[in-house]
Structure 1
């Protein structure tokens, strides 16, 4: 049976079986590999073209339980039959130095990723790209790791600069657009930790400069020791 003779469902089943989307992005903060919506789209376009299928993505903002969500819909069609898969992502509470469109865009990216994963049945099976993944780490685990690293870095900078930890913490959060630590959403963990690494590096460099030994440019001539019998 040729590709053109396949039904819509048969084409989708074939793509689901053949599609491979490696987790080619790496998180320095979490130490894991991950894939995003752009990776899925790049990998699936040749398959859709081969089978004459059209993929479209749409977003709709929804207000539920006092929070804004983005509902992303992935629609695949051959012109006659179609299949839709929806996914939701919540907008972050805080908006650190980002306009509303950027905050919404971040939620849209998450929602689209999971809609696409549902449509093409992209799983997280045990393979080389899924040993340490963002999808296998719970929000609580991510939060715990973030807080542990955050407080450790604050203590390190405090020890180097002799500045109170609460002052350093307020400075770090303020530079990233937050007032309190509990305002930092998961999508900004890496940004905050990255800033802390830079702050720690600067503190280390300043400490090394201050503690650098001073070399006398005009050393005095060494006085030769002697005994009275040598006079």
Structure 2
């Protein structure tokens, strides 16, 4: 039987790898995976295919007056020494509440390494909580849920449920989308996950979902976001 090539070994691992979401975000109420979860799931498959994966030293790139941490993941065929590498980048924030400089760098490194691993091993397309696709899916579901509630005017809210929006107490779906698109723009300008910006703003206004922004507070929240966007774009 012919020996497996490095590409066949990589294909085998891409086919068989199941990386669990071993972490949980208590604030956002979602499970997610980190680089360590992926590496742990890889170990038996690497042994089976006589290959190794390792993380090379991170490097720093300076682009457009911003620093980006570059993570490089290498996949090596032990039998031949052939190597395949994949890189991913994450921007370091200048300031992040509750973190010192080393923690900010560490967070960017973890993020970059995770997405380099995702790219190399084709982690399945289940949407992670820090991806734009995940938030877009949630936005669509929330909008559909809100429309369904509004289409039942005679239905009384049950105990412990949020009241419906018949009296215009909360923002409508168009306003919600405006807020979230602004959050996405801030994240893009900063080069960080949307999840980080969204969670910070939700925490600031002591809510768990942007649908809970009141109609009266809409301009306040949107004004704050627009200011933050200008600041991010100016850097």
Change (3 A) 1:110 1:148: closer
1:98, CA displacement in angstroms?
3.7
CA contact (8 A) 1:32 1:134 kept: no
Residue 129 of structure 2 corresponds to: 133
TM-score (norm 2): 0.56
Residue 217 of structure 2 corresponds to: none
Which of 1 and 2 has higher RCO (CA within 8 Å, sep 6+)? 1
Higher Cα Rg, which structure: 1
1:144, CA displacement in angstroms?
4.5
Alignment size in residue pairs: 149
1:122 corresponds to 2:123:
yes
After the TM superposition, which residues 61-80 of structure 1 pair with which residues of structure 2 at under 5 Å, given as runs? 61-78=60-77, 79-80=80-81
TM-score (norm 1): 0.57
What is the alpha-carbon distance in structure 2 between the residues aligned to residue 22 and residue 45 of structure 1? 13
Q: Output one character per residue of 1:89-111: Cα deviation in whole Å (capped at 9) or x when no partner.
A: 00012044544222211111000
Residue 147 of structure 1 corresponds to: 201
What is the alpha-carbon distance in structure 1 between the residues aligned to residue 92 and residue 198 of structure 2? 21
What is the alpha-carbon distance in structure 1 between the residues aligned to residue 53 and residue 199 of structure 2? 37
Residues 19-28 or 94-103, more deviating: 94-103
What is the alpha-carbon distance in structure 2 between the residues aligned to residue 96 and residue 149 of structure 1? 12
Q: Which SS does the other structure have where 1:152 is aligned?
A: coil
Which stretches in structure 2 are left out of the alignment for 5+ residues? 137-182, 185-193, 208-226, 230-235
Runs of 4 or more, structure 1, over 4 Å off, are none
Of residues 37, 40, 49 in structure 2, which corresponds to 1:39? 37
